[in-house]
Amino acid sequence: METLKLSGRDFFWPPADELTEAAERIRARLGDWPRADRDWRICLAAPDTAGNDDLIVVIGRAAEPDDAAAWRAAGAGLVEARTDGATLTTAAGERFVLEGTLAEDWLAALAAFLDCGFEPHDALVLALAWRDGDEAHGADAWPIDLSRFPRIAGLPAAPAQPFPVCPPRLGLYPVMPSAQWVERLLALGVETVQLRLKDATPAQLEDEIAQAVAAGRRHGAHVFVNDHWREAAQAGAYGVHLGQEDLETADLAAIAQSGMRLGLSTHGYFEMLRALHFRPSYLAFGAVFPTGTKTVATAPQGLARLERYVRLLGAHVPLVAIGGIDLARLPAVLATGVGSAALVSAITAASDLGEAVERLQQAFIA
């Protein structure tokens, strides 16, 4: 298959035949992935001219500040490898600091995962989860042993009080724009719903959340509130759902003390590890498919990635797939082993709400 061929491509600078051969050998055991959109180049020495597709690797020492600044100004990323891990610094100045084991062929693994279409920070996570010889362990050698994955350095401590557990398979998980929609879904027998409000005044926000939470109590259902954790805690919500950006500002200790469950959004391996550190009640992966209901900075994940996320984390935390999922796509999503799927337009745009919900519920039973 042409997508597995790395030889003949300028994947390493200076050219390194042995590394290229190792990368191709690893790549051939990672499954059928389309070739990456970008022609990455891993530079083991500073190139004469750095560019946007270059990752410059410095091993055993920190890069000189002037060199690092010049490479970043040219659009290149920097990987600084240590005996206990590696740090990626992007051209925009984002830093991804990972602690873990570097296999002898970690650079070859990094090239292989980049070729599978992963962004450098996620490819680096996977490269640190790789162990020498993994490519000899079957047709699909994808890393799925969580104990081998690196740790993210510099994270604040997780709340002392763990977040409460939620059902291991949340099933159909509609994400609705109002308390009225929440009530309608609960009346049809849906057991888990998220209220995601946009552009509400403080008074409207408090009232909508209170109504949705009260409806959840009447129906014995699980009502999560998106983002607004203070109002959700005040109303006694079952849970709250936060994005990665909210981890910087939300008081996770206060959320845990309130007794609410916590769901966290993730968009790749680095964000998964970051979210797991805080011991959430569930993790959401997305967007699986293109979606018009929310602006997402990352490209769609697709089913192949979702299936591997499930293999890695399915035994550790409940998982939710989200983004562009409808009735036609739902069976393929559930075939990955994920225990829940969040839907928006497939419900709000349905001409017959009752029939739509029944057919969606049946997909989880089939």
Residues whose CB falls within 8 Å of the CB of residue 66, separated by 6 or more in sequence, listed in order: none
Question: 121-137 b/e with 16+ CB inside 10 Å = b?
Answer: bbbbbbbbbbbeebbee
Tokens of 141: 């050698």
246 is in an annotated binding site: yes
Tally of CB atoms within 10 A around 154: 7
197 is in an annotated binding site: yes
Which residues are paired to 176 by β-bridges?
A: 195
194 is in an annotated binding site: yes
105 is in an annotated binding site: no
DSSP 278-315: T--SEEEE--SS--SSS--SSPP-HHHHHHHHHHHHTT
234 is in an annotated binding site: no
344 is in an annotated binding site: yes
Asked whether the beta carbons of 105 and 18 are under 8 A apart, the reply is no
β pairing state of 95-99 and 151-152: antiparallel
Dist. CA 262–CA 239, nearest whole Å: 6
38 is in an annotated binding site: no
Sign (positive/negative) of CA torsion 184, 190, 196, 201?
A: positive
Question: 26-41 b/e with 16+ CB inside 10 Å = b?
Answer: bbbbbeebebbeeebb
292 is in an annotated binding site: yes
CA nearest to 264, candidates 230, 240, 248: 240
5 is in an annotated binding site: no
198 is in an annotated binding site: yes
227 is in an annotated binding site: yes
* Phi, psi angles (nearest 5°) of residue 234: -60, -35
Is residue 7 classed as helix, strand or coil in its secondary structure?
A: coil
Tally of CB atoms within 10 A around 53: 15
CA nearest to 286, candidates 316, 314, 320, 310: 320
Tokens of 333: 């999503």
161 is in an annotated binding site: no
345 is in an annotated binding site: yes
Dist. CA 275–CA 362, nearest whole Å: 31
Binding residues: 194-198, 226-227, 246, 265, 291-294, 324, 344-345
Binding residues for Mg(2+): 227, 246
